[in-house]
Amino acid sequence: MRTIAFYSLKGGVGKTSAAVNIAYLASQSGLATILWDLDPQGASSWYLAGADQVKGRKLAALMDGKTPIGKFIRPSPYPNLDFIPSHTSFRNLDVRLDKEEDANLLKQWLGPLSEETELVVLDCPPSLSRLSEQVLAASDHVFVPVVPTWLSLNSWHQLRDFAKDHKLKRSRLHPFYSLADRRKALHRELVDDQERHLKGSLKTIIPNASVVEKMGESGRPVELTAPSSIAADAYRRLWREIRELL
């Protein structure tokens, strides 16, 4: 079983849409996939099941060892893709983790999934926290969407420094440009000089496209709503890059 995460210090960078689309593409490629929505806002849970169908559970039972992680899993409408829905109590997860000395709790929770799961995709809340440490320690690869702006680039540098300060493998971090809009001069400048400004990044650039925004309306991955779109093609190319790393 492999574990990947989509993570950013900033909100609104296309993290959740990337997590959902990649999880869907992974599942359709034949991998038994679980997406864990760790963000208390529950956006990826909304995309996969709709607000009325999501019944997340408090993590307290998992942390206390009273309930196995399998009890938290819900089926999605798509073959090979299940998910662990978010719950509003997830906002207190950092408080609970601060009381624990084990830096590998998240990895331990994921362990039992390996019997039936080939890929776990973590959709993470935007923050620098104890949960961040757990995610970076538990994931084989962490994919970091970066909007082509100076502020978003600075957030990427902060995350990279955070990993270094906590002696976490920075080689697991993979930034990629997201929500790129070539009509904007700054976006063009940073994208055209990608190797200098976002050195070592993935080559795929996710565009700022209306079909991605409409995921909230349709509740479905872009591959299903607009398969011939530039955005759908970009997610397919991103998945190919990720699969090569796996």
Please write the tens of the pLDDT for every residue from 50-85.
555 566 666 767 777 778 888 889 899 999 999 998
**Which pLDDT score is estimated for 55?**
62
pTM (2 d.p.)? 0.92
Judged against a pLDDT cut of 70, whether residue 230 lies above it is answered with yes
105 or 229: which carries more pLDDT confidence?
Answer: 229
39 band by pLDDT with thresholds 50, 70 and 90: confident
pLDDT tens across 115-160, in order?
A: 899 999 999 988 877 888 888 888 999 999 999 999 999 999 999 9
**Which pLDDT score is estimated for 166?**
78
pLDDT tens across 156-174, in order?
A: 999 999 888 877 777 899 9
Domain ranges for the chain, please list them.
2-245
pLDDT tens across 192-224, in order?
A: 999 999 998 999 999 999 998 888 778 889 999
95 band by pLDDT with thresholds 50, 70 and 90: low
What kind of fold does domain 2-245 have according to CATH?
Rossmann fold (3.40.50)
**Which pLDDT score is estimated for 128?**
79
DSSP assignment of the chain equals -EEEEE--SSSSSSHHHHHHHHHHHHHHTT--EEEEE--TT-HHHHHHH-TTT-----THHHHTTSS-GGGG-EE-SSTTEEEE---GGGGGHHHHHHT---TTHHHHHHGGGGGT-SEEEEE--SS-SHHHHHHHHH-SEEEEEE-SSHHHHHHHHHHHHHHHHTT--GGGEEEEE-SB-TTSHHHHHHHHTHHHHSTT--S---B--HHHHTHHHH-S-HHHH-TTSHHHHHHHHHHHHHHHH-
